[in-house]
Amino acid sequence: MTAINENFQKLPGSYLFSEIARRVAAYEQEHPDKKLIRLGIGDVTRPLPEAVTAAMHRAVDDMATAGGFHGYGPEQGYDFLREAIARCDYQARNVDIQPGEIFVSDGAKSDCGNIVDLFARENRVAVCDPVYPVYVDTNAMAGRAGDYDEAAGRWTNLIYMPCIAENGFIPAIPEGKADMIYLCFPNNPTGAVATRAQLQAWVNYANANGSVILFDAAYEAFITTPGIPHSIFEIPGAETCAIEFRSFSKTAGFTGTRCAYTVVPKALERGGASLNSLWNRRQCTKFNGVPYVVQRGAEAVYSDEGRAQVRETLDYYLNNARVIREGLTAAGLTVSGGVDSPYVWARTPAGMPSWDFFDRLLRRANVVTTPGAGFGPSGEGYIRLTGFGEATATQEAVRRIKSAL
Protein backbone atom coordinates (compact mmCIF):
# COMPACT_ATOMS: atom_id res chain seq x y z
CA MET A 1 0.00 0.00 0.00
CA THR A 2 1.20 3.52 -0.76
CA ALA A 3 2.45 5.31 2.33
CA ILE A 4 1.71 9.00 2.86
CA ASN A 5 3.60 11.76 4.62
CA GLU A 6 2.55 11.12 8.22
CA ASN A 7 3.33 14.71 9.17
CA PHE A 8 0.20 15.92 7.38
CA GLN A 9 -1.89 13.86 9.77
CA LYS A 10 -0.37 15.75 12.70
CA LEU A 11 -1.70 19.10 11.49
CA PRO A 12 -4.49 20.39 13.73
CA GLY A 13 -7.89 21.04 12.15
CA SER A 14 -7.79 23.29 9.12
CA TYR A 15 -5.67 26.20 8.02
CA LEU A 16 -6.65 29.34 10.00
CA PHE A 17 -8.19 31.28 7.14
CA SER A 18 -10.04 28.20 5.88
CA GLU A 19 -11.68 27.87 9.29
CA ILE A 20 -12.65 31.54 9.24
CA ALA A 21 -14.16 31.08 5.77
CA ARG A 22 -16.11 28.04 7.00
CA ARG A 23 -17.61 29.92 9.94
CA VAL A 24 -18.45 32.95 7.83
CA ALA A 25 -20.10 30.80 5.15
CA ALA A 26 -22.20 29.03 7.77
CA TYR A 27 -23.35 32.36 9.22
CA GLU A 28 -24.19 33.72 5.77
CA GLN A 29 -26.26 30.65 5.02
CA GLU A 30 -28.18 31.12 8.26
CA HIS A 31 -28.58 34.89 7.74
CA PRO A 32 -28.62 35.62 3.99
CA ASP A 33 -30.04 39.11 4.67
CA LYS A 34 -27.02 40.27 6.68
CA LYS A 35 -24.37 42.41 4.98
CA LEU A 36 -20.93 41.46 6.26
CA ILE A 37 -17.90 43.73 6.33
CA ARG A 38 -14.67 41.76 6.00
CA LEU A 39 -11.67 43.01 7.96
CA GLY A 40 -10.20 39.55 8.48
CA ILE A 41 -8.14 38.13 5.64
CA GLY A 42 -5.46 40.47 4.37
CA ASP A 43 -6.73 40.76 0.80
CA VAL A 44 -6.65 44.11 -0.95
CA THR A 45 -9.64 45.93 -2.42
CA ARG A 46 -8.18 48.78 -4.48
CA PRO A 47 -7.64 48.17 -8.22
CA LEU A 48 -4.20 47.74 -9.74
CA PRO A 49 -2.41 51.05 -10.43
CA GLU A 50 -3.06 52.46 -13.90
CA ALA A 51 0.65 52.34 -14.72
CA VAL A 52 0.61 48.61 -14.00
CA THR A 53 -2.45 47.78 -16.08
CA ALA A 54 -1.17 49.91 -18.97
CA ALA A 55 2.11 47.97 -18.93
CA MET A 56 0.22 44.69 -18.83
CA HIS A 57 -1.92 45.75 -21.81
CA ARG A 58 1.25 46.50 -23.76
CA ALA A 59 2.64 43.13 -22.75
CA VAL A 60 -0.51 41.37 -23.92
CA ASP A 61 -0.08 43.09 -27.27
CA ASP A 62 3.51 41.80 -27.33
CA MET A 63 2.19 38.28 -26.88
CA ALA A 64 -0.02 38.70 -29.96
CA THR A 65 2.98 39.17 -32.28
CA ALA A 66 5.58 36.73 -33.49
CA GLY A 67 8.41 39.04 -32.51
CA GLY A 68 7.01 39.90 -29.07
CA PHE A 69 5.68 36.51 -28.01
CA HIS A 70 7.16 34.99 -24.83
CA GLY A 71 6.86 31.32 -23.92
CA TYR A 72 8.70 29.81 -20.99
CA GLY A 73 10.59 32.56 -19.25
CA PRO A 74 13.64 32.26 -16.99
CA GLU A 75 12.76 30.54 -13.72
CA GLN A 76 14.60 33.28 -11.84
CA GLY A 77 12.60 36.11 -13.46
CA TYR A 78 13.21 38.35 -16.46
CA ASP A 79 16.27 40.57 -16.27
CA PHE A 80 14.20 43.73 -16.72
CA LEU A 81 12.33 43.09 -13.45
CA ARG A 82 15.28 41.76 -11.45
CA GLU A 83 17.33 44.80 -12.43
CA ALA A 84 14.52 47.19 -11.47
CA ILE A 85 14.14 45.48 -8.08
CA ALA A 86 17.88 45.60 -7.38
CA ARG A 87 18.14 49.24 -8.39
CA CYS A 88 15.02 50.63 -6.72
CA ASP A 89 14.44 48.45 -3.65
CA TYR A 90 18.04 47.92 -2.60
CA GLN A 91 20.73 49.97 -4.30
CA ALA A 92 18.65 53.13 -3.81
CA ARG A 93 18.99 52.42 -0.08
CA ASN A 94 22.74 51.81 -0.40
CA VAL A 95 22.26 48.05 -0.11
CA ASP A 96 24.43 46.05 -2.49
CA ILE A 97 21.98 43.44 -3.77
CA GLN A 98 22.56 42.32 -7.37
CA PRO A 99 20.01 40.98 -9.88
CA GLY A 100 21.55 37.50 -9.69
CA GLU A 101 20.55 37.35 -6.01
CA ILE A 102 16.87 38.04 -6.77
CA PHE A 103 14.38 35.29 -7.67
CA VAL A 104 10.95 36.36 -8.95
CA SER A 105 8.08 34.11 -7.85
CA ASP A 106 4.31 33.84 -7.68
CA GLY A 107 4.06 34.88 -4.04
CA ALA A 108 5.87 35.41 -0.75
CA LYS A 109 3.59 32.80 0.83
CA SER A 110 4.81 30.23 -1.69
CA ASP A 111 8.45 31.08 -1.14
CA CYS A 112 8.17 31.16 2.66
CA GLY A 113 6.81 27.63 2.45
CA ASN A 114 9.05 26.32 -0.30
CA ILE A 115 12.29 27.61 1.20
CA VAL A 116 12.18 24.75 3.73
CA ASP A 117 13.22 22.42 0.89
CA LEU A 118 16.79 23.67 1.34
CA PHE A 119 17.16 22.65 4.97
CA ALA A 120 17.68 19.34 6.74
CA ARG A 121 14.92 17.90 8.86
CA GLU A 122 16.95 18.04 12.09
CA ASN A 123 17.22 21.85 12.07
CA ARG A 124 15.58 23.61 15.02
CA VAL A 125 13.09 26.24 13.94
CA ALA A 126 12.31 29.43 15.88
CA VAL A 127 9.15 31.42 15.20
CA CYS A 128 7.64 34.57 16.62
CA ASP A 129 4.51 33.92 18.66
CA PRO A 130 1.99 35.01 17.42
CA VAL A 131 3.10 33.97 13.95
CA TYR A 132 1.95 33.82 10.33
CA PRO A 133 0.69 30.18 10.18
CA VAL A 134 2.55 29.30 6.96
CA TYR A 135 5.93 29.30 8.74
CA VAL A 136 4.72 26.76 11.28
CA ASP A 137 2.57 24.54 9.08
CA THR A 138 5.12 24.07 6.31
CA ASN A 139 7.79 23.03 8.81
CA ALA A 140 5.29 20.68 10.43
CA MET A 141 4.66 19.14 7.01
CA ALA A 142 8.42 18.71 6.60
CA GLY A 143 8.71 16.92 9.96
CA ARG A 144 10.59 19.59 11.91
CA ALA A 145 7.85 20.64 14.30
CA GLY A 146 7.49 17.45 16.35
CA ASP A 147 3.97 16.73 17.61
CA TYR A 148 1.12 19.13 18.15
CA ASP A 149 0.10 19.63 21.78
CA GLU A 150 -3.61 20.43 21.55
CA ALA A 151 -3.88 21.60 25.15
CA ALA A 152 -0.92 23.97 24.90
CA GLY A 153 -1.68 25.02 21.33
CA ARG A 154 1.91 24.52 20.23
CA TRP A 155 4.31 22.10 18.55
CA THR A 156 6.77 20.21 20.73
CA ASN A 157 9.90 20.80 18.64
CA LEU A 158 9.49 24.45 17.68
CA ILE A 159 11.11 27.31 19.57
CA TYR A 160 8.35 29.82 20.30
CA MET A 161 9.47 33.41 20.87
CA PRO A 162 6.66 35.29 22.63
CA CYS A 163 5.81 38.69 21.15
CA ILE A 164 3.61 40.25 23.79
CA ALA A 165 2.73 43.71 25.03
CA GLU A 166 5.35 43.49 27.78
CA ASN A 167 8.21 43.26 25.24
CA GLY A 168 6.66 45.60 22.69
CA PHE A 169 5.77 42.61 20.48
CA ILE A 170 9.46 42.14 19.62
CA PRO A 171 10.91 38.65 20.27
CA ALA A 172 13.85 38.09 22.58
CA ILE A 173 16.79 36.09 21.27
CA PRO A 174 16.36 32.48 22.48
CA GLU A 175 18.70 30.98 25.05
CA GLY A 176 19.17 27.80 23.03
CA LYS A 177 20.43 27.46 19.48
CA ALA A 178 17.97 28.03 16.66
CA ASP A 179 19.02 26.98 13.16
CA MET A 180 16.18 28.55 11.15
CA ILE A 181 14.74 31.82 12.47
CA TYR A 182 11.56 33.33 11.04
CA LEU A 183 11.23 37.08 11.50
CA CYS A 184 8.50 39.24 9.97
CA PHE A 185 8.66 43.05 10.13
CA PRO A 186 6.42 44.97 9.86
CA ASN A 187 4.88 42.07 11.69
CA ASN A 188 1.89 40.04 10.67
CA PRO A 189 -0.25 39.93 12.80
CA THR A 190 0.80 42.49 15.46
CA GLY A 191 1.89 45.35 13.19
CA ALA A 192 5.09 45.85 15.21
CA VAL A 193 8.32 47.06 13.60
CA ALA A 194 11.93 46.33 14.56
CA THR A 195 14.63 48.93 14.99
CA ARG A 196 18.07 48.77 13.45
CA ALA A 197 19.61 47.82 16.80
CA GLN A 198 17.09 45.01 17.35
CA LEU A 199 17.75 43.54 13.91
CA GLN A 200 21.51 43.89 14.38
CA ALA A 201 21.28 41.69 17.48
CA TRP A 202 19.58 38.98 15.41
CA VAL A 203 22.14 39.20 12.63
CA ASN A 204 24.96 38.93 15.16
CA TYR A 205 23.29 35.88 16.75
CA ALA A 206 22.74 34.16 13.40
CA ASN A 207 26.30 34.69 12.22
CA ALA A 208 27.72 33.54 15.55
CA ASN A 209 25.63 30.35 15.55
CA GLY A 210 25.58 29.52 11.86
CA SER A 211 21.83 30.11 11.77
CA VAL A 212 19.75 31.41 8.85
CA ILE A 213 17.25 34.24 9.26
CA LEU A 214 14.17 33.89 7.05
CA PHE A 215 13.03 37.50 6.91
CA ASP A 216 9.51 38.23 5.69
CA ALA A 217 9.42 41.87 4.53
CA ALA A 218 6.12 41.64 2.64
CA TYR A 219 4.81 44.79 4.37
CA GLU A 220 7.92 46.99 4.20
CA ALA A 221 6.21 49.52 1.91
CA PHE A 222 3.87 50.47 4.79
CA ILE A 223 6.73 51.73 6.98
CA THR A 224 6.28 55.44 7.70
CA THR A 225 8.45 55.92 10.81
CA PRO A 226 11.84 57.43 9.89
CA GLY A 227 14.86 55.24 10.62
CA ILE A 228 13.05 51.90 10.62
CA PRO A 229 14.87 49.47 8.27
CA HIS A 230 12.91 48.31 5.23
CA SER A 231 15.21 45.34 4.63
CA ILE A 232 17.29 42.97 6.74
CA PHE A 233 20.10 43.69 4.29
CA GLU A 234 20.37 47.24 5.62
CA ILE A 235 21.97 45.55 8.64
CA PRO A 236 25.74 44.87 8.43
CA GLY A 237 26.48 41.15 8.22
CA ALA A 238 23.01 40.13 7.02
CA GLU A 239 24.30 39.02 3.63
CA THR A 240 25.99 36.02 5.28
CA CYS A 241 23.00 34.88 7.35
CA ALA A 242 19.68 36.02 5.87
CA ILE A 243 17.15 35.35 3.12
CA GLU A 244 14.47 37.98 2.45
CA PHE A 245 10.95 37.58 1.07
CA ARG A 246 9.06 40.43 -0.55
CA SER A 247 5.79 40.74 -2.42
CA PHE A 248 3.90 42.99 -4.81
CA SER A 249 0.62 41.67 -3.34
CA LYS A 250 -0.03 44.24 -0.61
CA THR A 251 2.32 46.87 -2.02
CA ALA A 252 0.70 47.16 -5.46
CA GLY A 253 -2.45 45.05 -5.31
CA PHE A 254 -1.08 41.86 -6.88
CA THR A 255 -2.95 39.42 -4.62
CA GLY A 256 -4.90 38.14 -7.62
CA THR A 257 -2.09 38.71 -10.13
CA ARG A 258 0.67 36.90 -8.20
CA CYS A 259 4.18 38.31 -8.21
CA ALA A 260 6.81 38.43 -5.50
CA TYR A 261 10.53 37.84 -5.07
CA THR A 262 13.06 36.29 -2.74
CA VAL A 263 16.58 37.55 -2.18
CA VAL A 264 19.26 34.93 -1.50
CA PRO A 265 22.72 36.56 -1.28
CA LYS A 266 25.60 34.80 -2.97
CA ALA A 267 27.63 35.30 0.20
CA LEU A 268 25.23 33.07 2.16
CA GLU A 269 26.69 29.59 2.61
CA ARG A 270 25.93 26.75 5.00
CA GLY A 271 27.52 23.34 5.12
CA GLY A 272 29.91 24.34 2.36
CA ALA A 273 27.04 24.99 -0.05
CA SER A 274 25.79 28.21 -1.62
CA LEU A 275 22.13 28.73 -0.70
CA ASN A 276 21.78 30.94 -3.78
CA SER A 277 22.80 28.00 -5.96
CA LEU A 278 20.56 25.58 -4.05
CA TRP A 279 17.53 27.84 -4.37
CA ASN A 280 18.25 28.32 -8.05
CA ARG A 281 18.39 24.53 -8.47
CA ARG A 282 15.15 24.10 -6.57
CA GLN A 283 13.33 26.72 -8.63
CA CYS A 284 14.59 25.35 -11.92
CA THR A 285 13.25 21.93 -10.93
CA LYS A 286 9.89 22.84 -9.38
CA PHE A 287 8.92 26.21 -10.83
CA ASN A 288 8.36 27.52 -14.36
CA GLY A 289 8.45 31.24 -13.64
CA VAL A 290 5.98 34.11 -13.45
CA PRO A 291 4.20 35.08 -16.71
CA TYR A 292 5.80 37.74 -18.88
CA VAL A 293 2.65 39.91 -18.75
CA VAL A 294 2.65 39.90 -14.95
CA GLN A 295 6.35 40.73 -14.71
CA ARG A 296 5.91 43.69 -17.06
CA GLY A 297 3.18 44.91 -14.74
CA ALA A 298 5.47 44.53 -11.73
CA GLU A 299 8.21 46.43 -13.53
CA ALA A 300 5.81 49.37 -13.96
CA VAL A 301 5.54 49.66 -10.16
CA TYR A 302 9.01 51.24 -10.29
CA SER A 303 8.11 53.89 -12.89
CA ASP A 304 7.49 57.47 -11.71
CA GLU A 305 3.77 57.06 -12.37
CA GLY A 306 3.70 53.66 -10.72
CA ARG A 307 5.45 54.89 -7.60
CA ALA A 308 3.01 57.77 -7.18
CA GLN A 309 -0.03 55.56 -7.72
CA VAL A 310 1.24 52.88 -5.35
CA ARG A 311 1.91 55.50 -2.67
CA GLU A 312 -1.65 56.77 -3.00
CA THR A 313 -3.01 53.26 -2.46
CA LEU A 314 -0.73 52.59 0.50
CA ASP A 315 -1.85 55.85 2.13
CA TYR A 316 -5.48 54.82 1.57
CA TYR A 317 -4.95 51.56 3.46
CA LEU A 318 -2.91 53.22 6.19
CA ASN A 319 -5.72 55.73 6.71
CA ASN A 320 -8.15 52.83 7.11
CA ALA A 321 -5.81 51.34 9.72
CA ARG A 322 -5.74 54.69 11.51
CA VAL A 323 -9.56 54.80 11.55
CA ILE A 324 -9.68 51.32 13.06
CA ARG A 325 -6.93 52.03 15.59
CA GLU A 326 -8.38 55.32 16.77
CA GLY A 327 -11.97 54.06 16.76
CA LEU A 328 -11.28 50.96 18.82
CA THR A 329 -9.06 52.89 21.21
CA ALA A 330 -11.88 55.39 21.75
CA ALA A 331 -14.17 52.44 22.43
CA GLY A 332 -11.92 51.34 25.29
CA LEU A 333 -9.99 48.50 23.67
CA THR A 334 -6.21 48.19 24.01
CA VAL A 335 -4.85 48.51 20.48
CA SER A 336 -1.45 48.40 18.77
CA GLY A 337 -0.17 48.35 15.18
CA GLY A 338 -1.74 50.27 12.32
CA VAL A 339 1.05 52.87 12.03
CA ASP A 340 3.76 51.20 9.96
CA SER A 341 1.46 48.34 9.03
CA PRO A 342 -2.01 47.75 7.59
CA TYR A 343 -2.79 45.47 10.55
CA VAL A 344 -4.35 46.49 13.85
CA TRP A 345 -3.91 44.16 16.84
CA ALA A 346 -6.60 44.59 19.49
CA ARG A 347 -6.91 42.96 22.90
CA THR A 348 -10.28 41.31 23.49
CA PRO A 349 -12.45 42.84 26.23
CA ALA A 350 -12.36 41.33 29.72
CA GLY A 351 -10.02 38.53 28.65
CA MET A 352 -12.57 36.98 26.31
CA PRO A 353 -11.13 34.09 24.22
CA SER A 354 -10.31 35.31 20.75
CA TRP A 355 -12.56 32.86 18.88
CA ASP A 356 -15.45 33.89 21.16
CA PHE A 357 -14.84 37.55 20.36
CA PHE A 358 -14.57 36.68 16.67
CA ASP A 359 -18.01 35.04 16.88
CA ARG A 360 -19.47 37.98 18.82
CA LEU A 361 -18.32 40.49 16.21
CA LEU A 362 -19.52 38.24 13.40
CA ARG A 363 -23.00 37.81 14.90
CA ARG A 364 -23.58 41.14 16.65
CA ALA A 365 -21.67 43.49 14.34
CA ASN A 366 -21.54 41.46 11.11
CA VAL A 367 -17.83 42.21 10.92
CA VAL A 368 -15.29 39.52 10.04
CA THR A 369 -11.97 39.69 11.92
CA THR A 370 -9.16 37.21 12.56
CA PRO A 371 -8.89 35.56 16.02
CA GLY A 372 -5.45 35.90 17.52
CA ALA A 373 -5.40 32.32 18.79
CA GLY A 374 -5.06 31.19 15.19
CA PHE A 375 -1.60 32.78 15.12
CA GLY A 376 -0.23 30.86 18.12
CA PRO A 377 -0.46 30.65 21.92
CA SER A 378 0.54 34.28 22.54
CA GLY A 379 -2.15 35.42 20.13
CA GLU A 380 -4.90 34.28 22.48
CA GLY A 381 -6.85 37.22 23.82
CA TYR A 382 -6.42 39.32 20.66
CA ILE A 383 -8.01 39.84 17.27
CA ARG A 384 -6.43 41.15 14.09
CA LEU A 385 -8.18 43.64 11.82
CA THR A 386 -6.93 44.82 8.44
CA GLY A 387 -6.94 48.21 6.76
CA PHE A 388 -7.39 46.65 3.32
CA GLY A 389 -11.13 47.29 3.11
CA GLU A 390 -13.04 50.08 1.41
CA ALA A 391 -12.91 53.34 3.37
CA THR A 392 -16.64 53.84 3.95
CA ALA A 393 -17.09 50.18 4.91
CA THR A 394 -14.17 50.44 7.34
CA GLN A 395 -15.77 53.40 9.07
CA GLU A 396 -19.07 51.51 9.27
CA ALA A 397 -17.30 48.44 10.67
CA VAL A 398 -15.78 50.49 13.48
CA ARG A 399 -19.22 51.93 14.30
CA ARG A 400 -20.71 48.44 14.41
CA ILE A 401 -17.91 47.07 16.60
CA LYS A 402 -18.41 49.89 19.10
CA SER A 403 -22.10 49.01 19.29
CA ALA A 404 -21.31 45.32 19.85
CA LEU A 405 -18.92 45.82 22.77
Tens of pLDDT, residue by residue over 84-120, are 999 999 999 999 999 999 999 999 999 999 999 999 9
288 carries a ligand binding annotation: yes
247 carries a ligand binding annotation: yes
CB 19, CB 374: distance < 8 Å:
yes
CB 148, CB 10: distance < 8 Å:
yes
108 carries a ligand binding annotation: yes
Phi/psi-derived region of residue 386, left when phi > 0, alpha when psi is between -120 and 50, beta in every other case? beta
Coil/strand/helix, residue 264 = coil
Residue 175 has pLDDT above 90, yes or no: no
How many angstroms separate the CA atoms of 70 and 13, rounded?
42
Q: Which residues contact 75 (CB under 8 A, 6 or more apart)?
A: 103, 280, 283, 284, 287, 288, 289
How many angstroms separate the CA atoms of 305 and 298, rounded?
13
How many angstroms separate the CA atoms of 394 and 190, rounded?
19
Residue 355 has pLDDT above 80, yes or no: yes
Residue 307 has pLDDT above 80, yes or no: yes
User: How large is the average pLDDT for residues 370-375?
Assistant: 94
258 carries a ligand binding annotation: yes
316 carries a ligand binding annotation: no
Query: Which helix (H) or strand (E) segment is 263 a member of?
Result: strand 260-263
- pTM score above 0.85: yes
Confidence band, pLDDT 50/70/90 cuts, at residue 16:
confident
Query: Which helix (H) or strand (E) segment is 85 a member of?
Result: helix 79-85
How many angstroms separate the CA atoms of 267 and 262, rounded?
15
42 carries a ligand binding annotation: yes
110 carries a ligand binding annotation: no
pLDDT at 180: 98
261 carries a ligand binding annotation: no
pLDDT at 109: 96
What is the bridge-based pairing of β-strands 343-347 and 242-247?
A: unpaired
93 carries a ligand binding annotation: no
pLDDT at 18: 84
**CA distances from residue 72 to 87, 292, 293, 296 in whole angstroms, order as listed:** 25, 9, 12, 15
135 carries a ligand binding annotation: no
Q: Which of 344, 321, 334, 264 is nearest to 100 (CA)?
A: 264
331 carries a ligand binding annotation: no
